[in-house]
Structure formats: C-alpha cells, structure tokens
Amino acid sequence: MTTTKPALARAVAYADGGCDPNPGPGGWGVVIEGSEGKVELCGGDRATTNNRMELTAAIKALSHFPAGSAIEMRCDSQYVIKSVTEWMRGWKAKGWRTSTGPVKNVELMQELDALNAARDVKWTWVRGHTGNVGNERADRLAAQGRRQALGLAPASEPVPAAPAVPAVVPTPGVAAEPPAPAPRTTQVAIDLGLGLDVSRGAKLAGLTPQAFVERAIRVALKLGPDGIARVLDGGSAKP
C-alpha cells in the first residue's frame, strides 16, 4: 500500500527593500507569518542600492527558516523574483556571468541561491503599494531599517503601524452625524511604462502611487505651462 506524504503547510514571508537616493542609504524589511505567529525583521546600510536591499530582504527572510522549510516568498521586486526563477540557471551555467560580464551583486545572488535550494520555496510577485497589508508593512520596516542605518532611530524603536481611521463614539442623546462622503475621483489612463515610473517614484518618496500623482499634478498646476516647459528643457522653474 502506497501512502501519500501530506504537503507541508507553507509559512508566508513578505520581503521588501529600498534606497533613497539610489545609490545611498537603504533599508530592508521582512514580515513572516507562520505557525509561531508574526515575526518582523528590519535593517539597513548607509551606502547601498535598491537592488541590494531587495536581495538582502529576501535573504534575511529565508535565513529565518531552517533547511527543508516550506515557504511562500512574496516580493514586489521583479528583479528578485526573476533572478531566482528565470535567470540564475543560465548564470550558473556560465560561471555566474551574463552575456555582458559578471553578474551584478553576485555574492548576494549566490547566497540567495543556496538558501533557496535548501528550502521548498514558492516565489510570488505582489504589486507594491496597492494595499496589500503584508507588503505595506514590509515597506514600513524597510524605511525603519534605513533610519536605523543613518542613526535616526534606535534598533529597539517600534515601527509605527499604518495610520488607522479613528472610530467615532456617539454621544448619548446626540444624533450621530452622517459619514462624510467619499472624495470624488476621476480615472485617468496612463501608459504602462509611465505607470512603472510612478510606482518607483512613489516608493522612493514614501507615498502611495495615488498620493504621488496628486502631488505631481499640484506641482504642475502651480508651475503652469511655461514653468513646466522650462523644467523639461533643463532650466529653473522660475522665470
């Protein structure tokens, strides 16, 4: 009689990293949701790059688990996801080289490859800054790691949670006010490439893509057509 070995329950790990400016001081953050509860990790470096922080976040997440663990790694970095799932096999076959030269960040790539090979890892790409709770939390942890690297926050300082909407407690005998209407919005279609630039810019600014676009529009309206033309031509916004 043949018995089927039950599949291992996967722990979920969110990993995110960033740098501001790039290159410059950066941080990484990890949120792990497993049988032992939630674990949060963060750290940073005073002189690094976005890609190195994204790789470091994934490495720190996998390092938390012993060999043989079943994990789902969720990252918003296509660079990390594709490096592991598409590109590494070819790089290793060529002695960790690409068609144009040595693989960049090779020591981190090799460490990530070894950790991945020793574990049962499912790699999942998640779109950043779209309200995914785990991804948003990892992003806040990465920002905290950057502050720690710069000496702006102690390692023991808790990472603030995302702002919560305060509850309205009704006063006895007083009729509750109706909720404020939702802000009116207009959908605007933009080119996919521009959308990716917006996502990257929003991440560096620590804003949601919507808030980043709103701020950019307000700046453009304040500058006016002539000011915008001068900025695009490489000059000053002031006449």
Inter-axis angle of helices 106-117 and 50-63, to 10 degrees? Answer: 30
Between the CA of residue 11 and those of 5, 92, 114, 127, what are the distances in Å? 18, 28, 19, 20
Q: Catalytic annotation on 45? A: no
Q: Catalytic annotation on 36? A: no
Exactly one of 26, 43, 45, 54 is catalytic; name it: 54
Q: Catalytic annotation on 16? A: yes
Exactly one of 45, 128, 139, 227 is catalytic; name it: 139
Exactly one of 26, 45, 128, 129 is catalytic; name it: 129
The answer to whether 35 and 154 are in contact (CB under 8 A) is no
The alpha carbon of residue 111 and the mean position of all alpha carbons in its chain are separated, in whole angstroms, by 20
Q: Which of 108, 102, 47 is nearest to 80 (CA)?
A: 108
Total residues found in the chain within this entry: 239
Q: Catalytic annotation on 129? A: yes
* Active site members: 16-17, 54, 76, 129, 139
